[in-house]
């Protein structure tokens, strides 16, 4: 049996803002290739901060973090963009460009990477159709609802087929039917090999999918087994 690649490895990591006490402490966490985890905890517990460390928007203030086998603490800053390109992030803030169409917003990561349009045009269209925006490809963000903007941001995060998907409350602005559809997309990408972490307050969603849980409480991360049903 082929050993799975280790995607994330925190060792005794902590995160503090300025001179304040640590927001997150003593993080010892691993995530392997093809694993799926929910991330739960009360508001302000540090879920978004943990995700920010994983996608290298912040660095731990102590301890170590390895991504895809690379030591991110000692790595030079110029090495980090290559790691980030392997990560798809669904932010709470959509970060769409108002002057671009939905299609062009989704295509932006591929364009920035220098990929030829003909090689990703179909993927962009397919993703926009999947999230229910096949008829809004030419619409610009100011004309879209909050839920529609969120779905554009979701498609943009997934278009490059990342090895690691991080989603921060990805179903917060959509109806239950679209929420189920989005989660099915994550599950399908996970089955194809992508590692997935979904931060959510929706405990019903957690129980329905029956995936293992990472819980943040009082600045520490603990693991729980899968609960409820399965996917």
pLDDT in tens, 119-146: 899 999 999 998 899 999 999 999 999 8
Asked whether residue 10 is assigned to any structural domain, the reply reads no
Asked whether residue 98 is assigned to any structural domain, the reply reads yes
Q: Calculate ∠ Cα 109-189-107, nearest 5°.
A: 20
Asked whether residue 12 is assigned to any structural domain, the reply reads no
The range of the structural domain enclosing residue 148 comes to: 93-160
DSSP 64: E
Lowest mean pLDDT among 29-43, 147-161, 166-180: 166-180
Asked whether residue 230 is assigned to any structural domain, the reply reads no
Asked whether residue 37 is assigned to any structural domain, the reply reads no
What would the mean pLDDT of 107-115 be, rounded to a whole number? Answer: 90
Number of structural domains the chain divides into: 1
pLDDT of 168 reads 92
Asked whether residue 131 is assigned to any structural domain, the reply reads yes
Query: Residue 71: pLDDT above 50?
Result: yes
Give per-residue pLDDT as tens, 184-197: 889 988 998 999 99
Separation in Å, CA 205 to CA 11, 119, 180, 211, 227 = 29, 35, 8, 10, 11
pLDDT of 3 reads 64
What would the mean pLDDT of 211-228 be, rounded to a whole number? Answer: 85
Query: Residue 198: pLDDT above 90?
Result: yes
Asked whether residue 45 is assigned to any structural domain, the reply reads no
Contact 189, 165 (CB under 8 A): yes
High-pLDDT (> 70) share of the chain, %: 96
If you average pLDDT over every residue of the chain, what do you get?
A: 89
Asked whether residue 141 is assigned to any structural domain, the reply reads yes
Query: Residue 61: pLDDT above 80?
Result: yes
């Amino acid at each position: 049996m082929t050993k799975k690649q280790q995607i994330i490895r925190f060792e005794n990591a902590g995160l503090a803002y300025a001179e304040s006490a640590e927001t997150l402490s003593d993080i010892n966490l691993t995530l392997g290739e093809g694993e799926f985890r929910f991330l739960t905890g009360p508001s302000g517990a540090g879920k978004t901060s943990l995700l920010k460390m994983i996608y290298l928007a912040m660095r731990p203030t102590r301890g170590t973090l390895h991504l895809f086998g690379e030591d991110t603490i000692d790595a030079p800053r110029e090495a980090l963009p290559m790691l980030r390109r392997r990560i798809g992030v669904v932010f709470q803030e959509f970060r769409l460009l108002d002057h671009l169409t939905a299609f062009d917003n989704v295509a932006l990561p591929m364009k920035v990477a220098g990929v030829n349009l003909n090689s990703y045009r179909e993927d962009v269209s397919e993703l926009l159709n999947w999230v229910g925006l096949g008829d809004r490809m030419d619409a610009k963000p100011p004309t879209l609802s909050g839920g529609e903007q969120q779905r554009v941001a979701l498609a943009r995060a997934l278009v490059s087929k990342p090895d690691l998907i991080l989603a921060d409350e990805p179903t917060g602005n959509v109806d239950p039917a679209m929420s189920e559809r989005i989660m099915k997309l994550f599950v399908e990408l996970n089955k194809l090999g992508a590692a997935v972490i979904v931060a959510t307050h929706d405990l019903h969603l957690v129980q329905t999918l029956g995936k293992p849980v990472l819980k943040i409480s009082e600045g520490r991360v603990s693991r729980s087994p899968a609960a409820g049903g399965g996917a």
